[in-house]
Amino acid sequence: MTEALILNGKAIAASVTDEITARTARLAAEIGVKPGLAVVIVGEDPASQVYVRNKGRTASACGFNSITHTLSVDVSEEKLLALVAEMNEDQAIHGILVQLPLPKHISENKVLNLIKPEKDVDGFHPINVGLLGSGNTDRALVPCTPAGCVLLTKRALGADLSGKTAVIVGRSNIVGKPVAQLLLQENCTVTIAHSRTKDLPDLVRGADIVVAAVGRPQMIRGDWIKAGATVIDVGMNRIPAPEKGEGKTRLVGDVAYDEALGHAGAITPVPGGVGPMTIAMLMSNTVTAARRLLGLTEEP
Ligand code: NDP
C-alpha cells in the first residue's frame, strides 16, 4: 500500500502569500495604493490574540497597511458598531475583520451585518453568503477556511474537480456549508453530513473528497476512507498528551490521521494543513477587495 501525499498547508500557504506580495506590488505600481486590512479584537482571549498577531504579521509581510484595534472586554456594543461604521467609510481600509467570538453583551450578528459587504474579508455578511449560495463567486468574498480547503483539494487532484463525489462532515455556517457551496460550484457531487446523518462511515466510504469539519478528535477512522481519496481535515482539537508531561496537550484533527494515511491518496496534517491556509486566504480576499473597491479589473 502506498502512503498518502501529505498536503503541506504551511508551504502551500507560503506560496499563496508570495503571490499576494507580488499582487500588492502590482497594485502599488498601477495606482500607488496599498491594500489596508483592519482587524478588531475585543478582550484578551489568548487563542484570538495569537490569530490576530499572526494576521497582522502576515499582512505586513505582504506589503499591506495593517491596522489592529484592540478593545477592552467591556467595550459597549455601541462603541464597536461606531468603529465599524467609521472603518466602512475609511478609503484606506479595504478589508475589515472582527475577530470572533465577541463578549456576550455584544450581538455578533449586528456587528457582522454592519460591515460593508465589499470590505467583509471574512465572507460572513449575508450578502456574501447569498452571492456564494447563488453561485456568484466572482462577486462574493468567500470565507477563508473553506477557500483554503478547496485550494488544498486542487493541489491534490488538479484544477478540474468535475464529477468528483464529496462528503462534507459538518454543516456550520463558517465551514461546512460554504465548503459544500464551493465544491458544488466546482461541479462536484456534494453530500453534507451532520450529527443526525445515518450510516456516516458508509457515506464517507463513497467519497473521492472528504472534508472533516466536526470538532470531534479523530472521529473519522482510517477504514472509512476510500482508497486514494483526498482528505481535508479542518478539525482543531486539543487532547491530553501525558507523553509530553503532566497536564500537557496536543492538537489533533477530526480524522484519525495515522490510520487514514494508509488509505487516502492525499491528506492534510493537523497542525500544518488547513490552519495556515486560512490566513493566506484572508490576505487574498483583502487584495481582491481592494481591487474591486478601487474599480480595477480582477487578476486571473
Ligand atoms: P461547529 O461546532 O459549528 O459544527 C460542527 C458540525 O459537526 C455540526 O454541523 C454538527 O452537526 C457536526 N457534528 C457534530 N457531531 C457529529 C457527529 N457525531 N457526526 C456527524 N456530524 C457531527 O464547528 P465548526 O464548523 O465551527 O468547526 C469544526 C472544526 O473545525 C472545529 O474543530 C474547529 O476548531 C475547526 N476549525 C478550524 C479552522 C481552521 O482554520 N483550521 C477554522 C474554523 C474551524 P449538527 O449541525 O447536527 O449539530
pLDDT, tens only, 211-223: 999 999 999 999 9
Mutate which of 50, 150, 214, 278 for ligand 1 pocket (most atoms within 8 A of beta carbon):
214
CATH fold label, 31-116: Rossmann fold (3.40.50)
Mean pLDDT of the chain: 96
pLDDT at 35 over 70: yes
Q: Alpha-carbon distance 118 to 182, whole Å?
A: 19
Distance, CA 103 to ligand 1 centroid (Å)? 21
- Domain layout of the chain by residue ranges: 31-116, 144-274
Residue nearest to atom 22 of ligand 1 (CA): 195
Mean pLDDT of 151-159: 97
The CB density around residue 269, as the number of other CB atoms within 10 Å, is: 19
With a 6 Å cutoff on the Cβ, whether 251 touches ligand 1 is no
**pLDDT for residue 260:** 98
Task: Judge whether 31-116 and 144-274 match in fold.
Answer: yes
Report the separation in Å between the CA atom of 120 and the middle of ligand 1, taken as the mean of its atom positions.
22
CATH number of 144-274: 3.40.50.720
**Ligand 1 centroid distance, CA of 214 (Å):** 3
CB of 171 closer than 6 A to ligand 1? yes
Cell, residue 117: 459587504
Are 133 and 147 spatial neighbours (Cβ–Cβ below 8 Å)? Answer: no
Does the structure show a pLDDT above 90 at 38?
yes
CA distance 291 to 23: 10
pLDDT at 68: 96
Is the pLDDT score of 299 beyond 80? no
CA distances from 116 to 36, 96, 152, 185 (A): 14, 8, 29, 25
Q: How far is the CA of 91 from the centre of ligand 1 (A)?
A: 36
- pLDDT, one tens digit per residue, over 126-153 is 999 999 999 999 999 999 999 999 999 9
Instruction: State if residue 218 touches ligand 1 by the CB under 6 angstroms criterion.
Output: no
Per-residue pLDDT of 245-284, as tens digits, reads 999 999 999 999 999 999 999 999 999 999 999 999 999 9
